[in-house]
Amino acid sequence: MRVAEPKVPDAPRFIHDDEWYPARKLDAVPRRLGVAQPKYPESAQRRGVTGSLKVRLRVNALGEVEAVEIVSAQPAGVFEASVQAFFQVARYQPPQREGRPVRAVIEERVSFTLKDDD
């Protein structure tokens, strides 16, 4: 009598290519893990400066950010360093295409607003 060997589940397979997939070609846009936000620069906070930035991120198949590009910043020169430092250590759900981990380019908008103390 011959006993069938148990089937071992397939390990996730990476698509081995040099492609960086845009968000629209992914199964779903990867979400950032955790709830932390970039640090509000103290000098901007003291002066009451608010603003927003758009960042483009290259997220690898493990969910690690490999590159951060500031696409736009309003006002310029105030929040960029804080946003760069934050996203360089941020982690994401691994991007997937057709159920497989891939590298992706995603964009996020970050806003810096002050709370009313009234």
Number of Cβ atoms within 10 Å of the Cβ of 87: 22
How far apart, in whole angstroms, are the C-alpha atoms of residue 118 and residue 103?
Answer: 45
Q: How far apart are CA 32 and CA 111, in angstroms?
A: 16
> Confidence band (pLDDT; 50, 70, 90) for 18?
confident
Query: Per the domain annotation, does 10 fall within a domain?
Result: no
Say which CATH number the domain at 95 has: 3.30.2420.10
Print the domain residue range for 89.
Answer: 21-34+48-112
pLDDT digits (tens, 9 = 90+) for 56-78: 999 999 999 999 999 999 999 99
Asked, for residue 7, whether it belongs to a domain, the answer is: no
The total number of structural domains in the chain stands at 1
- pTM to 2 decimals? 0.81
For 98-113, write each residue's pLDDT tens digit.
Answer: 999 999 999 999 999 9
Q: Is residue 62 part of a domain?
A: yes
